[in-house]
Amino acid sequence: MKRVLSIQSHVVFGCAGNGAAVFPMRRMGLEVWPVNTVQFSNHTQYSAGWQGMGMPDGHIRQLMTGLADIGVLGQCDALLSGYLGSAEQGEEILAAVAHLKALNPEALYFCDPVMGHPDKGCIVAPGVADFFKTRALACADMLAPNLLELEQLTDREIQNLPEALAACQQLREQGVKLVMVKHLGRAGFALDRFEMLLVCDAGAFHISRPLYPFKRHPIGVGDLLSAIMLANLLAGQDPVQAFERTNASVDAVMAHTWLAGAYELQLVTAQQAMAEPEVHARAIRL
């Protein structure tokens, strides 16, 4: 059984951060060790706001020390990071990655660089975006930005697919082995489809799924994408197979959520189709 440290936000109600990542990875057969960077009552895009707090500096470091003290840290196969409560937490995560790789050189660091989207109500603390750009890139084996994050990480304005490809290649030249752009948006082929891009050693690949017309688009889809992609890779699938299955799994969740008329991802209802998806869309080599 593969084991994953998942270090990201957590909400008591709904699905975002670890709330969107832990159950799917466990349902897909992974042992998951969640560490929360913040704990909120709900995600931050509810109009009534939210309650909760960020975890204090040193929290992650203490937990990693505890895992090392009982002799289990080196048993971990991957570390997945997402939303950070502070740039200081990012440094603690990089220290955890270094400690983990010293114990298990085969361990992977999958970085979901949540850099904020103020227009959608996603706010990150000062210094977090700069941390991902100047510090995390040098350590990440795999990276899963959306289009806005890809622009910020590469200091590029991206309007089309060739520009997105060039940005991904720039990240690969900095040492990232695999880049999955979780949502191409305006840089894709069609605005009525949800399109993704994969760039890895095997080449560059494009895939899409239906874009359901939600009145309020569910939050946590990016967290879900990163978690399922990592789970598929740890299951031994090659990157393209993992990409295709990830696309199918998330489409199944989105379809269930749309049919339920829900705002929060319907992970429990969709769990069978999520864990064992029917793959119809194939990745196209670019």
Binding residues for ATP: 112, 144, 149, 182
- On whether the CB atoms of residues 281 and 208 are closer than 8 A, the answer is yes
Helix or strand or coil: residue 40?
strand
Q: How far apart are CA 109 and CA 167, in angstroms?
A: 20
- Known binding-site positions: 9, 44-45, 112, 144, 149, 182, 223
Please tell me what DSSP assigns to residue 273: H
Please tell me what DSSP assigns to residue 121: T
Give the Cβ contact number of residue 170 at 10 Å: 16
User: Using alpha carbons only, how large is the chain's radius of gyration in Å?
Assistant: 17
Give the Cβ contact number of residue 12 at 10 Å: 12
- Known binding-site positions for substrate: 9, 44-45, 223
- Tokens 């969107």 correspond to what residue? 20
